[in-house]
Each structure stands twice: as structure tokens, then as C-alpha cells.
Structure 1
């Protein structure tokens, strides 16, 4: 996918996730784009893969672009940014998971930031309880 097509698709997915879930996060977008498989995501969550970027079947420049686009379109929708910790699933010590090989704080934070629409989440909760 070229950058222009990728930008359109990320924009569509940001809007879709914001509406359907009330939040947008990089991992969901990567799964929806097909650059991360559910199996690889689970292996990362259970600590079997050292860092998330290793499991993605896309180059680092595209991953960086995707994160920038998610931030841009989330800000356009006035979504609130919220850092979210990702800890290892399973038994034993729950270590903090890494997203990047470098472990650089700015990169880790860009992956770990979720963008939230609190009003939409409240609507979704109301709809769920009224069913």
C-alpha cells in the first residue's frame, strides 16, 4: 500500500474505531490493516516476542507514519490522549512489554497512547445497558 492509500485507510479506521469503540489505539489499527496478526499480537502479549515491531510485517518508516497519522486524525476528532501500560499476560511476573527494538521513550509512548472519546464511550455504555 502506498503512503496516500495508507493515509486514507488509517483515517477511515481512526473514525471507525472512535465511533464503534470510543477509542483508538495503534495495536487495533495495526491488526485491522493486516500488518500484525492476532497470533503474533498474542505471542507478544505473552512475552514470546521481544518487541511488537518485530512481529509487524511492515517497515519501520511505515510504522512511524501510521503512528503519526493516528495521532493527527485523533487530534482532528478532539479525542483525549491517554497513556496505557501494556504488561505481559499469563502467569508469573508481569513485566512491561516493549513496542520497539530501541525502547526509546518517545517511540514507546506513541505506541502506548490511546485516544479516547469519553462522550462516545458513555453513549456505548448506555446503549449496552438499555438492551
Structure 2
């Protein structure tokens, strides 16, 4: 997928997720684009993979582009950013998971941020309360 197609796909997924759920995360987008499989995601969440980028089916240049596009569209939509800690699933030590090989704080934070449309969340909550 070239950069233009990737841009269109990320924009579409951002809008769909905000409309359907009122929020989204980078992990949501990677799963929906099939750059990350559910099995690989689960392996990472249970600590069987050192860092998430290791199991993504896309190169680092495109992963960086996806993160930049997500930030661009979340800013355009005036979404609230919310850092979310990803901890290992399962019993034992509750350790923080890594997204990148480097562990750089800026990179880690970009992956761990969820983007929320508060007004849409209220609409969805009101709609579900009626049903």
C-alpha cells in the first residue's frame, strides 16, 4: 500500500471508529488494517513477544506514518488524547508492555494514546440507555 492509500485508509478507520465507538487507539487501527493479527496481539499482551512492533506486518517507516496520520486526524477532529497503560495479561508480575524496540518515551506514548470524542461518547451512551 502506498502512502496515499495508507493515508485514506487511516482517515477512513479513524472516522469509522469515532462514529461506532466514540474513540480509537493505534492498536485498533493496526488490527483493522491487518498489520497486526489477533494472535500476535494476544502474544504481546501475555508477554510472549518483547515489543509490539516486532510482530507488526509492516515496516517501521509505515508504522511511523500511521502514527503521524492518526495524530493529524485526531487533531482535525479535535479529539481528546488519553494515555493508556498497557500491562501484561495473566498471573504473576504486572509489568508494563513495550511497543517499540527502542523503548523511546515519545514513541511509546504515541502508541499508548487513545483518542476520544467526548460528544460522540455521550451520544452513544444516551442511545444505549434508551435501548
Q: Secondary structure at the match of 2:71?
A: helix
2:89 matched to 1:89?
Answer: yes
Q: Which runs of 4+ in 1 moved over 3 A?
A: none
Q: Secondary structure at the match of 1:114?
A: strand
After TM superposition, give the deviation of residue 31 of structure 1 in Å.
Answer: 0.3
Q: Hey, what's the Cα distance between the residues in 2 that align with 1:33 and 1:20?
A: 17
Counterparts of 1:61-100 in structure 2, within 5 Å, are 61-100=61-100
- Alignment size in residue pairs: 131
CA contact (8 A) 1:22 1:117 kept: yes
Counterparts of 1:18-29 in structure 2, within 5 Å, are 18-29=18-29
Unaligned runs of 5+ in 1: none
Q: Secondary structure at the match of 2:44?
A: helix
After TM superposition, give the deviation of residue 45 of structure 1 in Å.
Answer: 0.5
Task: Report the counterpart of residue 60 of structure 1 in structure 2.
Answer: 60
2:113 matched to 1:130?
Answer: no
Per-residue CA shift, 1:87-118, capped at 9, x if unaligned?
A: 01111111000000000000000101111011
CA contact (8 A) 1:82 1:116 kept: yes
Per-residue CA shift, 1:37-68, capped at 9, x if unaligned?
A: 01100110111111000010100000000000
CA contact (8 A) 1:24 1:74 kept: no
Q: Secondary structure at the match of 2:95?
A: coil
Unaligned runs of 5+ in 2: none
